Structure 1
Amino acid sequence: MNDTHSPDQPDVFPYLQLMHQHGGSDLFFSVGAPPHMKVEGHSQPVGQRVLKAGEVQQLAYQLMTQKQVAEFERDLEMNLAVSLQNAGRYRVNVYYQRGEVAMVMRLIKSQIPSFEALGLPVMLEKLAMQDRGLILVTGAAGSGKSTTLAAMLDFRNRHKSGHIVCIEDPIEFLHSHQRSIIDQREVGLDTHSFDDALRNVLREAPDVIMLGEIRDAATMQHALHYAETGHLCVATLHATSSSHAIERIARFFPDEARKQVLADVAHNLLAVIGQRLVPGIAQKRVVAVELMLGTPYIRDLIQRDELDELREATARAAEQGLQTFDQHLFALLEAGRIRLAEALKFADSRTDLSLKFKLERGFSVDDAELKVLRDG
């Protein structure tokens, strides 16, 4: 990403103010459609006026330096960070589509929500304070992985001294130095590449290393090495569940390396935190969390490559702080925060959740759904 630019108030400014007012996260500008704003994961038009040919280019060029304009016209792609007084800091991606300039602006948040505000298990506070090991935050794109990671780092930053180094592409939350020194390295701005930053981070004497995302075997090897050498490594990984996360890690590597990789993961794993954002009753999305801690039994299952047993083992260890998605979805349903239909939609096992619902409530899911239809 190119250097942060701080232009005078551009024509895009009113849209940014509107996004702030509505708690939006992204703005989309594309010729032939009105500007769109994403709020709580849903995109909606901002007004009815359709953007005409050349208008998005004008908006985008106001945010760039002359050098950036020249680079964009040469490369047809541009990533930059923009800081606007009274409107915040944004990650901006400018590109071409159908011969016209298009642009997406994402708000980089400086206010980091607490675990309580996010509805995350209190166990994450304890995990954030660990001295060494590997913590993975998993989920689909847009499930709040980066937000959870930011909350964990912020908690540690406020409660424990040390050096936290974040390697990000791009930076999504801005941290300030508190009890810890927290350095955020953005690929393209503070380091030439993710690989360069990975190779050099141990020379920066970190206590905690945060990796924006693990995408390949090389990054995974670095993460395991950091944990092995006495550091706390936290990272995100695209996976649908804890067992899928471990399987995905194994598949980064050749088949002949699988046994050793699983042994390394078992030895270093502190936790896998899975997330799904579920539509809530109060129009706000609610996070459903799967928490698989690296207990001796969980580690043994991983080492023995019995990954299909992980969900059941997690379900049976609730007294140790572990929980499955279905257990948390039922708790959210009982608390009146989500509807039955959404709980079933996001469950790992609709059958298991339906059975628990019948045992606890005394009537079946089908009866409940009929009642919802009857009551309107």
Structure 2
Amino acid sequence: MDIATFTQILQIAFEKKVSDIHFEVDNPPIFRARGHLIRSKLSNLTKKDTEFIASTVLEQHKRELPEDLKEFDASYTVADVGRFRVSIFRQRGNIGLVMRVIPHHIGTFEELNLPVVLGDVTKAPNGLILVCGPTGNGKSTTLASMIRHINDNFNYSVITIEDPIEFIFHSNRSCIIQREVGIDTEGFGGALKAAMRMDPDVIMVGEMRDLDTVDACIKAAETGHLVLSTLHTHNAASTIGRMVGFFPSQVQENIRHRLAEVLVATVSLRLVRGKSGEIVVPAMEIMHATSTIKSCIRDGHLDDIEQYIEKGRDEYHMQTLDQHLIQLCRQDVISLEEAKRISRSTDLERKLIYS
């Protein structure tokens, strides 16, 4: 492996609209496109190949590849090609990498097939907005589109705290400051505390990973800021449960009350394959924190939330994941089999017939 070959592989990824590239010893480079893994026809990678790639990525951050590296997250930029989010790890004693392709263009809601109601969500003057879903299902892209909407429509001071920085924003109507953990700041918690002294209207935190970050996000929302972040959860109820679960049991009731006061909305998404097999589209649960849902959060009745989301579709423009999957089936965008694969419900087909 040399730099020319490595760069060519990355160029191909952009040209073919690949979402991820896997580099592992004893395998050729493997691409993920439209949800499918595709083995390239290149030679199997050696230990020296993956170490070269890891060293090349780290060199861009003025770091050397340490012998005891276990895992490391970084970004990588190829001039005139694009940016990548890189996960470097060790497996069976060898270095491996997964590189996520970050498009140049930050899509609008329409371009990404996202519901326009997300624009209404970002109109909140303060509070907490959470974008949730499994890894690789479009959380970062959705969050970036929401920040783009804010940047295009509001005169705000926006601070992002990311590990690493993914999409590059250029100030439009808003003024945007982007800080990267490990380069511009030591960690999310400290960066959030510093952000409070930087005159922000909006704070975007790439991911809530620990108690300190969750607590700092809630405090920022309580003090009049609009905070957007992500969690690896599958729906509104599990998102709230996960956030409360970060805290010791003796303070969880208080956290539920605090969270009920600041939560604006949760957006949970999964990428599903279109009928043609050539596209993927987002299927989404959207929850607005109505007074009824706030009561559920305060009282710990999280299992009741989904029924209120379902009932609030017309009045509050909320939707459950099943409601959206059914809509996509009726619009002939996805197949029933794909909808059933994604749904956590055992009676999706009955809902499709009788709803």
TM-score, structure 1 normalization: 0.87
Query: Does the C-alpha gap of structure 1 residues 264 and 65 become closer, same or farther in structure 2, counting only changes over 3 Å?
Result: closer
2:36 to 35, 42, 55: 42
Higher Rg: 1
Residues 294-303 or 94-103, more deviating:
94-103
Give the secondary-structure state (helix, strand or coil) at the position aligned to 2:287: strand
Query: Which structure 2 residues correspond to residues 154-233 of structure 1 after superposition, within 5 A?
Result: 154-233=148-227
The answer to whether structure 1 residue 119 and structure 2 residue 113 are counterparts is yes
Alpha carbons of structure 1 residues 54 and 342: separation in structure 2 relative to 1, 3 Å:
same
The counterpart of 1:265, out of the listed 259, 268, 278, is 259
Q: Which residue of 2 aligns with 1:341?
A: 337
- How many Å apart are 1:327 and its aligned residue? 0.7
Structure 2: how far apart are the matches of 1:245 and 1:77?
26
C-alpha separation in 2, matches of 1:263 and 1:335: 40
The one-letter amino acid of 2:187's match is S
Which segment drifts farther, 320-329 or 297-306?
A: 297-306
Distance in 2 between residues matched to 1:268 and 1:46, nearest whole Å: 48
SS at match of 1:272: strand
Task: Indicate the larger mover: 178-187 or 47-56.
Answer: 47-56
Q: 1:48 to 1:265 in 2, by over 3 A?
A: same
Instruction: Mark the runs of 5 or more structure 2 residues left unpaired by the alignment.
Output: none
Of 292, 298, 313 in structure 2, the residue corresponding to residue 297 of structure 1 is: 292
Q: Tell me which residue corresponds to 2:307.
A: 312
Q: 1:317 and 1:177, CA in 2 relative to 1: closer, same or farther beyond 3 A?
A: same
Which residue pairs with 1:31 in the alignment? 25
- CA separation of 1:76/1:66 partners in 2, compared to 1, >3 Å: closer, same or farther? farther
SS, match of residue 141 in structure 2: helix
Q: Of the candidates 277, 280, 287, which is equivalent to residue 285 of structure 1?
A: 280
SS in 2 for 1:213: coil
**Structure 1 residues 46 and 313: alpha-carbon distance in aligned structure 2, compared to 1, 3 A threshold:** same
1:5 — aligned with what? none
SS in 2 for 1:121: coil
Judge conservation of contact 2:14–2:101 (CA < 8 Å) in 1: no
Per the alignment, residue 101 of structure 2 pairs with 107
Sequence identity, in percent?
A: 36
| Residues in 2 aligned to 1:324 and 1:47: alpha-carbon distance in whole angstroms | 42
- Deviation, 1:355, is 2.3
Deviations 1:126-171 (A, max 9, x none): 1112210111111111111111110000001011111101111112
CA distance in 1, matches of 2:310, 2:60: 57
**Does the 8 A contact of 1:9 with 1:84 survive in 2?**
no
2:327 is aligned with 1:331: yes
Instruction: Assess if the C-alpha contact under 8 Å between 2:218 and 2:262 holds in 1.
Output: yes
What residue number does 1:356 align with? Answer: 351
The AA in structure 2 aligned to 1:309 is D
CA distance in 1, matches of 2:20, 2:196: 34
Secondary structure at 2:197 match in 1: helix
Give yes or no for contact 2:210–2:246 (8 Å, CA) kept in 1: yes
Give the AA of the match of 1:232.
L
2:143 is aligned to 149
C-alpha contact (below 8 Å) 1:109/1:172 kept by paired residues: no
Q: Kindly indicate whether the alpha-carbon contact (under 8 Å) linking 1:211 and 1:233 is maintained by their aligned counterparts in 2.
A: yes
Structure 2 CA distance for partners of 1:80 and 1:325, relative to 1, 3 Å? closer
Per-residue Cα deviation, 1:214-233 (whole angstroms, up to 9, x for no partner)? 12222121111111111101
Note the C-alpha offset of 1:107: 2.5
1:162–1:68 Cα change, 3 Å? closer
Query: Relative to 1, partners in 2 of residues 1:30 and 1:203: Cα closer, same or farther, differing over 3 Å?
Result: same
2:5 partner SS: coil
TM-score (norm 2): 0.92
Cα 1:355–1:202 change in 2 (3 A) is: same
SS at match of 2:304: helix
One-letter amino acid of the structure 2 residue matched with residue 23 of structure 1: K
Return the letter of the residue paired with 1:331: Q
What's the CA shift for 1:44? 1.3
Assess, with a 3 A threshold, how the Cα gap between structure 1 residues 92 and 67 changes in structure 2: closer, same or farther: closer
The answer for unaligned runs of 5 or more in structure 1 is: 1-7, 361-376
How big is the alpha-carbon RMSD for the aligned residues of Structure 1 and Structure 2?
Answer: 2.2
